[in-house]
Amino acid sequence: MGRPKVLLLHGYLSTSTVWRRTARFLDACEPEALDLPGYGGSPLPPGGLTLESVVEAVAAEAARLRPAAVVGHSMGAVVALALGRRYPELAPRVGAVGLPVYRSRDEARRFVGRRGAVYRFFLWNDAAAHMVCCELGRRTMSLWAPAVLRRYPQYDREVLRSAFAHGAETHRQALERLVFGARLEEWAAEVPVPVAALHGTADGAAPPARARALAQRLGWRWEEVPGATHEVLLEQPELTARWVESLALGS
């Protein structure tokens, strides 16, 4: 009998690359990281991005892989929960890392906007934000990447590149429909499988208090990482890997 398989889902401004560092420490599991529709080499669904269309695409991969657990980061955590709700046989356990729980788009904008002017620009100016994020960012990466890598050693060039590996429609639709518009609190109680949540106490993108309250209300396993940000899987990949393994093994 081989190692249990784990399906790993990325967040809004990344691809499957974001899981590479954690995957190196997964000794007891066999990881497979997926590019969600519209990201990396994965095309947009014909009708665009909706939570339903993304879940169907992931379900097709999960049916092939038959994972012991599906683990998502940020937006990917929302998708993992929705998969567990719709197809519990394909996601027998769900892991949510940095789960974004917002009651409205305005609340999300206010919370994330506290991170600074750059974040406020990306939240309020969809077309211009995409141009800067994906077009200008890609073309000028050699100029600004060294400074970013010095300031944020948890990143590397491949992770930075993955932030631009999507198009304009993905940029707009994913944020509006999968993150801000997920309305997670309205349906999370309908997820019938065991759920574990991992969250950094210094997460500036997904409110820790809101995620904690939801997890406690629904009886999910909750674990906080002191001082970690929204990118806890990059900052502490070994800790994240041990957490993923404990979920997949049911320990």
- The CA-based angle 172-8-15, given to 5 degrees, is 40
Residue 81: pLDDT band with limits 50, 70, 90: very high
The per-residue pLDDT for 175 is: 84
113 close to 119: Cβ distance less than 8 angstroms = yes
Residue 164: pLDDT band with limits 50, 70, 90: confident
Q: Look at residue 51 and tell me if it is in a domain.
A: yes
The per-residue pLDDT for 115 is: 56
Q: Look at residue 144 and tell me if it is in a domain.
A: no
Higher pLDDT, 132 or 215: 215
* Two tokens, residue 106: 């305005």
- For 193-208, write each residue's pLDDT tens digit: 999 999 999 998 899 9
Q: Look at residue 223 and tell me if it is in a domain.
A: yes
pLDDT at 250 over 70: yes
The per-residue pLDDT for 112 is: 64
Q: Look at residue 23 and tell me if it is in a domain.
A: yes
Tell me how far apart the alpha carbons of residues 148 and 196 are, in angstroms, rounded to a whole number. Answer: 32
The per-residue pLDDT for 155 is: 77
Mean pLDDT to the nearest integer, 230-237: 95
- For 92-138, write each residue's pLDDT tens digit: 999 999 999 987 777 766 666 665 555 555 555 555 565 566 666 66
Q: Look at residue 99 and tell me if it is in a domain.
A: yes
Q: Residue 58 belongs to what domain range?
A: 5-105+171-248
- For 7-62, write each residue's pLDDT tens digit: 999 999 899 999 999 999 999 999 999 999 999 989 999 889 999 999 999 999 99
pTM: 0.89
- The pLDDT > 70 percentage for the chain reads 83
Q: Look at residue 123 and tell me if it is in a domain.
A: no
Q: Look at residue 42 and tell me if it is in a domain.
A: yes
How high does pLDDT run on average in the chain? 88
Domain count, the chain: 1
SS (H, E, C) 158-175: HHHHHCCCECHHHHHHHH
To the nearest 10°, the Cα dihedral for 238, 239, 243, 244? -30
CATH code where residue 11 lies: 3.40.50.1820
Q: Look at residue 139 and tell me if it is in a domain.
A: no
